[in-house]
Amino acid sequence: MRIGLGKDLHALVPGRRLVLGGVTIPSDRGEKGHSDGDVLIHAVADAILGALGMDDIGHIWPDTDPRLEGMDSAVIAKEAGKLAEGRIQNIDTIITLEHPKLEGYRGAIRDNLASLLGIPASKINIKAKTAEGFGPVGRGEAIEAEAIVLLDD
């Protein structure tokens, strides 16, 4: 087996969409970023690339590339799924966000992410928690995601 770890953080600002796993969540603020800022896809893609020994998403999709401005991160998820070539055993994730509460959206996020990666939804777990008011995430100024993936060697 091979294991990969991914993590991402984006600032949350008014006037941007909050996108997680390609699903837009109703919110008064969203991820600031060169792309759509989908922290969950970025963390999951980084975990997959890590397990494959392929550096990180910044090498493939640099945030200095003007062609990637406003890019839909679904493109990153689809490409990472292809690179994994059906070897994904499971993916576990944590999204840390003060508000809104994600409980009602976890299923939709899991299903959409699974479809982008081309794997069954049963191989993905989405956990959501708050930062209990501490730090930039706790103040609602940022959102963070972590992911771990297991691949067949």
Residues that bind Mg ion (CB under 5 A): 8, 42
Nearer to Mg ion, 32 or 121 (CB): 32
Contacts of 60 (CB under 8 A, 6+ apart): 49, 54, 76, 79
Residue among 71 and 128 whose Cβ is closer to Mg ion: 71
Q: How far is the CB of 60 from Mg ion (least distance, A)?
A: 13
- Minimum separation from the CB atom of position 44 to Mg ion (A): 11
Alpha carbons 127 and 145: distance in angstroms, whole number: 10
CB of 57 to Mg ion, least distance (A): 8
Residue 104 · residue 69 · CB < 8 Å:
no
Nearest distance from C-beta of residue 35 to Mg ion, angstroms: 7
Q: Which CB, 58 or 86, lies closer to Mg ion?
A: 58
From CA 124, how far away is CA 106, in angstroms rounded?
Answer: 11
Residue 61 or 105 with smaller CB distance to Mg ion: 61
Q: Is 76 helix (H, G, I), strand (E, B) or coil?
A: helix
